[in-house]
Structure 1
């Protein structure tokens, strides 16, 4: 098993993530094949080497993350249905009192799904541990504003709010990118197993870089303004 063993080091205000930008809503395309990671410069002017995904991701992959929480999502997939919840969860994290911490967890991504366990150092028990099968995960994306945040939408049957957005803070933006690619690989492996079923399962993973997504969203807003 490959493991991203470095523990997240960040302040409650998510230092190192980009500040919110205008025009950050939009619908990404559906299931996309992996491409190379972005080479954008993170906030603060600090240039770092970005990870590329030229080589196939081998599952399982493990990531040490901090759990931002969960919020209701309006739809099955699309970054405009994770952006708002992520902003809310980040705001809640920023408002934590001194001494409070986010849950410190380990995410293990395999071809069966995502398994969440508690790190020994964790002090916050406000999280849901356990296994989330791949067929209940409808969407995953690296956030375009807080680029160290990975968000995914879970489908909950027989509940008043069937779609939940869960968000996790990685130690680096490259780790969030790698986590996104790991889930994409899990989706691909799952698709191979169910390809003979009459009804294909619906899920999506957006593998574009945050900069690429934001550029498309700005283009959509500009087109709407010109048509108005």
Structure 2
């Protein structure tokens, strides 16, 4: 499964960790692939270190490329004077990981159409080439409806299955926009709301995080999240 965001900073890494944690809790072997990590130096912890901390060291992680500038992968690679990671390389790595794991998660950088290379390759190309569904991690705030709708529309245009929408950082005190978005996100995307992870989840211990993941993701991921009940709790 591929995980993409509606933008940067929407909680994609934490959602990836939550999916991985629940899979491990069901005794499934899990690998997480990060094709391109940007904005992180060679000796700094990146997204995969965060996933390992939250989901456990049993999760296999693989980062194909790391570039220090916090930019789109193709631009960051060009500025670093290094070759970019291509969609074909990412797809090949995912296939290799699938041979030894029950589940492979591929976490993108930014949104679905952020460029990996100067030929225009994107995360959507990776998903399409390996036939993987895409889970959309959405923001809760104003502006998320347009970004989510465009992401879902592009998936349909390419014939890529959408695994649903997860709100990646549900606020402790949701405003009117966030509460209304619980009903509106599934409508604009024509895809189910399958989770909402609280915004402070990354600060928790591993065991606390597992419990939050269970409450925050739907049964198809091994959780207990009920979209209708959650929306009713925060009805605008």
Shorter-chain TM-score tier? under 0.3
TM-score normalized by the length of structure 1: 0.28
TM-score normalized by the length of structure 2: 0.27
The answer to which structure, 1 or 2, has the higher relative contact order (CA under 8 A, 6+ apart) is: 1
